[in-house]
A = this chain, B = another copy of it.
Amino acid sequence: MIVDIHGHYTTAPQSLWDWRKRQAAGERPGPLKISDDQIRESLEGAQLKLQRERGTDVTFFSPRASTMEHHVGDASISLEWTRLSNDLIHRCCALYPKNFVPVCQLPQSPGVAPKESVGELLRCVKEMGFVGLNLNPDPSGGNWRDPPLTDRSWYPLYEMMVELDVPAMVHVSSSCNPNFHATGAHYINADTTAFMQFLTSELFKDFPTLRFVIPHGGGAVPYHWGRYRGLAQDMKRPPLKELLLKNVYFDTCVYHQPGIDLMLKVIPAENILFASEMVGAVRGIDPETGQYYDDTKRYIQASSISAADKQKIFEGNARRVYPRWKPV
């Protein structure tokens, strides 16, 4: 079985984005009207088609990351948009229970304590069977004004994650800082930033079973694995494997063979989860290979790691990291 743990509903019907546009403009757009057929249509020609073509079985599916936009409006705007977005994910997964498994966004908002997100997490997991969450380390959208992930203000949320036994993918949304291109800089920077926050903290002493997935291949981390090992050593921290790798995982959203090969060389297979983020940041075909850049399954299959390690990456680790997921 091949499990893609990182997919967003980027292809949702236009009426969703229209609703959001009106909401963000201060209107009260009323109930969202999207039929089951519209949902089917939005998925059949996109994620479902790509699943079939690429031979992946199931996608952990969450709202589009770039439109979480926690920096837009206040906490009540964020909550309304988040509930609506999560409900729509729930509908997708109910229509295609074999193909999609729900992962939620949180109603974060700049300057608002993370404990305010606990209720929506509970609702999604307990009432709708969500298996994980996306956690935005920068609700200010590229201005980085909120405390690091290791700040104690996050602890109530982490307590609930531990209680529910759900992992969080660390995933920013769009950037309203002109310095940061969203998918080319902000996403990757956030991944690197989160890893370093974890490295310098005692977070996993406080929460030994708390689990984070760092997407986009862990940002810059595997490429600079020597730097991170060396920084930890200079700081008299334990080796990274001991310090972080019981709690921190990386996905495989790295869109070329040499990048995947590097990751597979330096990160233990136990800490890597297959993902493509399709339909996501990069949609074209690589002229060097004739294949989609984000068809990451090919890179893993073409790599020289053992069949047992491939099985961990494609399926085994997902079962372990997302224990609430039970294949249909």
Contact = CB atoms under 8 A, between A and B. Distances in A.
A234 B284 contact: yes
A96 interface: no
A227 B184 CA distance: 8
B138 A254 contact: no
A311 to B, nearest CB: 23
B231 A281 contact: yes
A157 to B, nearest CB: 17
Interface residues of A, number: 58
Q: Which of A180, A188, A220, A254 lies at the interface centre, i.e. has the most chain B CB atoms within 10 A of its CB? A: A220
Contacts of A195: 185
A24 B63 CA distance: 47
A14 interface: no
Copy number in this complex? 2
Interface stretch (A75-83, A109-117, A127-135, A255-263): A255-263
Contact of A196 (B148, B181, B258, B294): B181
A231 B193 contact: no
20 contacts: A143-B143, A146-B179, A148-B179, A180-B193, A180-B196, A181-B199, A185-B192, A185-B193, A188-B220, A189-B192, A216-B227, A224-B255, A224-B259, A226-B254, A226-B282, A226-B286, A229-B293, A230-B281, A259-B262, A262-B262
10 closest A-B pairs by CB:
A226-B256, A230-B282, A220-B220, A226-B255, A223-B223, A184-B196, A189-B189, A230-B293, A185-B196, A181-B196
